[in-house]
Structure formats: C-alpha cells, structure tokens
Amino acid sequence: MDLILAAIFGFAGGMIGGLVGVGGGILFVPALVIFLDEPQVRAEATSLLAIVIVALAGTWRQRRYGNVRLDDAAVIGVLSVAGVALGVIVANAVPERALEVGFAILALAIAAQLVVRALRTPEDARD
C-alpha cells in the first residue's frame, strides 16, 4: 500500500510542480515524511533519485530541440557531485528535526517568491 501511495504522491507532485513551475520534490518530500512516516533523509534521497530519472528523460527530449548546452551541463554535473557529497555529510551530522525545519523554511521561501512573482504586473517584471 505504501508503494501505491508513494506513486500517487510522486505523480501528483510532478503534475502540480509542472503546472506551477516548481520541482515536484517540494511537494513529494513532505508527503513522504507526513503521510508515509519516512525519515527526512530517506524522503530527500528518494526525491533526489527521482530527479535523476526525470532529468535524464528531460535532457534527452530537450537535446533533440537544441535546448541543451553540453558544456554548461558538464560543469553543473561535475560540481553537483561535490555538492551532493557535502550535503550527505551535513544531512548525517545534523538532527533530523533540523532538516525538517530547514526544508519547511525552504518551501515557504519558494512559496513567497512565487506569490511575489505572480503579483507583479508585466511592467514590474521588466525592471
């Protein structure tokens, strides 16, 4: 049953994220923690694995349209490995509650940014 719920949350997170322009993980991670009682670290790791799969599919599709800059992607990919290694060290060193609160703050900051952008008039966006 948990696998079915996880699939539903993943699909819903991806759909809503795609509709409003945020990553599905911003919805998927809290769903795993709150509704499936997953630890924060495991929920984040699950979301990151899903990102790899989605990123590969998206890159393959967008490359056909000529929208992928391989040089920039290589730099980001190499630096991401270092970032992930550092993130794992930090995630394993801090209490799980701190990760939950940090994720909640990040989610609120993203929500606030989306609200500010949505309320801008077209003239404001050009500034």
pLDDT band at residue 6 using 50, 70 and 90 as cut-offs: confident
Residues in the chain, how many?
127
Instruction: Report the pLDDT averaged over residues 58-64.
Output: 90
Return the pLDDT at 17. 74
As a dihedral over the C-alpha atoms of residue 118, residue 121, residue 125, residue 127, rounded to 10 degrees, the angle is: -140
pLDDT in tens, 76-109: 989 988 998 998 899 889 998 998 899 889 889 9
Return the pLDDT at 120. 86
pLDDT band at residue 126 using 50, 70 and 90 as cut-offs: low
pLDDT at 127 over 60: no
Return the pLDDT at 53. 84
pLDDT in tens, 67-78: 999 899 899 989
pLDDT in tens, 8-49: 887 887 787 777 766 777 788 888 888 889 998 898 888 888
State pTM to two decimals. 0.64
Residue with tokens 């790899």: 52
Decide: 40 and 28 in contact? Cβ < 8 Å.
no
Closest to 20 (Cα-Cα) out of 12, 9, 30, 8: 12
